[in-house]
Amino acid sequence: MNPRRKKRLTIVASILIGIGAVSGLVLYALSQNIDLFFTPSEITQGKKETGLKPSIGQRIRIGGLVVPGSVKRDPESLKVSFRLSDMTMPIEFKDTDPMVTVYYEGILPDLFREGQGIVANGTLEDHPPTGLSIEASEVLAKHDENYMPAELADKKGQKHEKTKYTEKQLESKGY
């Protein structure tokens, strides 16, 4: 390589390395703030690295899995409530897991199911009976990257039908 090209190569390469380092550091510094949502355990116990905890009344997004059996809906209106727990692999729900209750009034997305990932947007409240909860103004469904035909899902024992509400879940008092 002739010296001029070599010089240009070093200049371009060093600029690229510099930009890479700068953006790497910026992203590292921002890493907590780029998250779209808080998980239920981050709301109750604070973020893992920083211990940062959202305060009551703050507008936040929460993301988690709908705890099976926790969905309660008012038969007279669109009011609905459900509990969210962390997305952990493998998926299992224990009563000791940190959970946050979400209250919402509106139409739920098509993919809303028990055990499904949900992202809700609203204010953090502290309701006495249920503890920390979110008064949501928006509920979005999150789906995973696994796609399969229905027959295969049946074979694997994956539930995929829409939530059916039991009598108890439909009690308007429950909301």
* Size of site (CB under 8 A) for other proteins: 41
Q: Give which of 30, 34, 11, 33 is closest to 22, Cα–Cα.
A: 30
Residue 38 backbone phi and psi in degrees, to 5: -90, 145
Q: Give which of 133, 113, 10 is closest to 65, Cα–Cα.
A: 113
Q: Are 102 and 62 in contact (CB under 8 A)?
A: yes
Q: If you ran DSSP here, which 8-state letter would residue 157 be given?
A: T
The answer to the question of residue 5 lying near other proteins (CB under 8 A) is yes
Pick from 34, 56, 95, 164: which binds other proteins (CB under 8 A)? 34
Pick from 40, 41, 43, 63: which binds other proteins (CB under 8 A)? 63
Write each residue from 141 to 160 as x if it is in contact with other proteins (CB under 8 A), else as -, in one continuous string.
xxxxxxxxxxxxxx---x-x
63: how many CB neighbours lie within 10 A of its CB?
Answer: 20
The answer to the question of residue 9 lying near other proteins (CB under 8 A) is yes
Binding site for other proteins (CB under 8 A): 5, 8-9, 12, 15-16, 19-20, 23, 27, 31, 34-37, 39, 63, 109-111, 113, 119, 138-154, 158, 160
